[in-house]
Amino acid sequence: MTSVHSSAPNSSHPRHNASSSSAPTRHPVTIISTTYASTNTTLNPVAATIVDFINHLLDQIPLPRWAVYTIFAAGALLILLCCLCICIKCCCRGKKKKRQQKKDEKINLKGVNGKTTAALVQPDVGDVDYGTTKKPRGKLLYSLEYNATASELMVGIKQANSLKAMDLGGSSDPYVKVYIIPDKNKTCETKVFRNTLSPAFNEQFSFQISKASLLKSTAVMQVFDFNRFSKHNIIGELRVQLGNVDWNHVIEEWQDLAEPAKFEEENLGEICFSLRYVPTAGKLTVVILEAKNLKSMDVGGASDPYVKVQLTLDKRKWKKRKTSIKKKTLNPYYNESFTFDVSFEQIQRVNLVISVWDYDTMTRNDAMGKIFLGCDAAGNQLRHWADMLSNPRRPVAQWHSLLSAQQVNSTLVLKKKLPLPTKLPF
Ligand SMILES: [Ca+2]
Ligand SMILES: [Ca+2]
């Protein structure tokens, strides 16, 4: 005890004096407070009381100060570690809860769909587009049956085999969409089969259709890969022209899936431009006026469209110009004029290709729609071109519906680039 006292002489001396005169030794706390209030005026009386109380407590412990401090430090460290453990546990519980919620969502979705069974849709990291190389797309077993009295067409989707893998894991989540064109008033879908390249769908769909229109229609069966978090990719499709089918029997056959040609379902917007040809000067002027209802290509529902004006000569790329880029719009207005030197001999062998593109800063620009006019064109496009030729020197403007680049490219098959683009022996 004495050794401890000597280590704190400031507090011990006045305490003894005070205790002897006014208060009994049993209540050291009150005594300390009075002594400190009188001697140390710079310290807050409450803080001073606490400090002195702690000092007094330390004096009671029969250990050197350094040992006491070490014990306290170890204790604090232990408490800190405990807190850390509790925090981590709480966080983990939160995550677990979220995971559980996600699981519940999946279950709910399954219930809402009502079409799916246990083997079906569950998303995973494998739901990423995989391989766009030209590989066989697989085959589909389907059936066709027509009931003339009920005007009912039955399309059976039986099974698929050796489907192309669309996901990273080397598999797909296939389902089939069925519809009849041109009157595409009903689209049916099979269940989704998860993680398989050989699903057995065994579903049948009925379509009300008269015998007359049946013979002019086409049954479209498209096999898709389901992805929960991204666009569903088409694996391949079958198009069966119903006019060629022998309806005296039930048809059931395997067919190889073809590359999709989804021309009829896309509305890619319209474009308006004027054409003017001056035969004597050999000048063709194209004025790109405006476009409307373009496809949205960017996040946020807009696009940054610009128009490419291209001339081909004898089905080879020849001359090319571009409009400015109109940012964040689906209805751009350009009014931009392009004049090309095209002699009277050449105009008979020229095609004009107009394409709309979405400008992107970070990625490659995407084609939004295309159209071509000229000697190899048909319908509305050929009419506009003929109007231009039959009205020399006068600009002729017209609206055109944009088609998919794929469709235009398959009609206007271009040869390799012209080796001598400007000088031609005429
Ligand atoms: Ca998938
Ligand atoms: Ca863009």
Distance from the alpha carbon of residue 74 to the mean position of ligand 1, in angstroms: 55
Query: Rounded distance, CA 45 to CA 37, Å?
Result: 6
Residue whose C-alpha is closest to residue 245's, from 138, 149, 148, 140? 148
Distance from the alpha carbon of residue 362 to the mean position of ligand 2, in angstroms: 9
Q: Which parts of 59-137 are beta strand (E)?
A: none
Distance from the alpha carbon of residue 28 to the mean position of ligand 2, in angstroms: 81
For residue 231, the ligand closest to its alpha carbon is: 1
Most confident of the following: 260-264, 267-271, 284-288: 284-288
At residue 371, the 3 state secondary structure works out as strand
Query: Rounded distance, CA 172 to CA 163, Å?
Result: 8
Query: Rounded distance, CA 228 to CA 128, Å?
Result: 10
For residue 226, the ligand closest to its alpha carbon is: 1
For residue 192, the ligand closest to its alpha carbon is: 1
Query: Rounded distance, CA 316 to CA 414, Å?
Result: 5
Interval 146-156 mean pLDDT? 95
Distance from the alpha carbon of residue 183 to the mean position of ligand 1, in angstroms: 30
Predicted confidence at residue 36, as pLDDT, reads 42
Q: Is 60 exceeded by the pLDDT of residue 124?
A: no
Distance from the alpha carbon of residue 80 to the mean position of ligand 1, in angstroms: 47
Q: Is 60 exceeded by the pLDDT of residue 91?
A: no
Distance from the alpha carbon of residue 168 to the mean position of ligand 1, in angstroms: 9
Ligand 2 (ion): which residues have CB within 5 A?
298, 304, 358, 360
Predicted confidence at residue 205, as pLDDT, reads 94
For residue 302, the ligand closest to its alpha carbon is: 2
In eight-state DSSP terms, residue 154 is: E
Banded model confidence at residue 332, pLDDT cuts 50, 70, 90: very high
Interval 155-169 mean pLDDT? 94
Query: Rounded distance, CA 331 to CA 317, Å?
Result: 28
For residue 361, the ligand closest to its alpha carbon is: 2
- Tokens, residue 126: 């494998």
For residue 128, the ligand closest to its alpha carbon is: 1
| CATH class of the domain at 270-411 | mainly beta
Distance from the alpha carbon of residue 159 to the mean position of ligand 1, in angstroms: 18
Distance from the alpha carbon of residue 130 to the mean position of ligand 1, in angstroms: 9
Q: Is 326 exposed, middle or buried (0-12, 13-18, 19+ CB in 10 A)?
A: buried
For residue 125, the ligand closest to its alpha carbon is: 1
Banded model confidence at residue 316, pLDDT cuts 50, 70, 90: very high
Query: Rounded distance, CA 98 to CA 86, Å?
Result: 19
Contacts of 32 (CB under 8 A, 6+ apart): 11, 15, 49, 52, 53, 56
Interval 8-32 mean pLDDT? 42
Neighbouring CB atoms inside 10 A of 306's CB total 22
Predicted confidence at residue 350, as pLDDT, reads 95
Q: Is 70 exceeded by the pLDDT of residue 203?
A: yes
Query: Rounded distance, CA 122 to CA 193, Å?
Result: 10
- Tokens, residue 313: 């000569």
Distance from the alpha carbon of residue 137 to the mean position of ligand 1, in angstroms: 15
Q: Is 80 exceeded by the pLDDT of residue 380?
A: no
Query: Rounded distance, CA 169 to CA 156, Å?
Result: 29
Q: Is 70 exceeded by the pLDDT of residue 113?
A: no
Q: Which CATH number fits domain 139-256: 2.60.40.150, 3.30.1050.10, 3.40.50.2000, 3.30.360.10?
A: 2.60.40.150
For residue 305, the ligand closest to its alpha carbon is: 2
Predicted confidence at residue 301, as pLDDT, reads 81
Distance from the alpha carbon of residue 199 to the mean position of ligand 1, in angstroms: 14
Distance from the alpha carbon of residue 417 to the mean position of ligand 2, in angstroms: 28
In eight-state DSSP terms, residue 33 is: H
Q: Is 90 exceeded by the pLDDT of residue 198?
A: yes
Query: Rounded distance, CA 183 to CA 173, Å?
Result: 28
Interval 367-394 mean pLDDT? 89
Alpha helices in 343-403 (DSSP H): 344-347, 379-390
Distance from the alpha carbon of residue 101 to the mean position of ligand 1, in angstroms: 22
Predicted confidence at residue 59, as pLDDT, reads 78
Predicted confidence at residue 97, as pLDDT, reads 45
| Degrees to nearest 5, angle at CA 117 with 105 and 124 | 50
Distance from the alpha carbon of residue 303 to the mean position of ligand 2, in angstroms: 5
For CATH 2.60.40.150, list the domain ranges present in the chain. Answer: 139-256, 270-411
For residue 299, the ligand closest to its alpha carbon is: 2
Distance from the alpha carbon of residue 303 to the mean position of ligand 1, in angstroms: 27
How far is the CA of 260 from the CAs of 54, 84, 175, 282, in angstroms?
84, 57, 15, 41
Distance from the alpha carbon of residue 262 to the mean position of ligand 1, in angstroms: 20
Distance from the alpha carbon of residue 173 to the mean position of ligand 1, in angstroms: 5
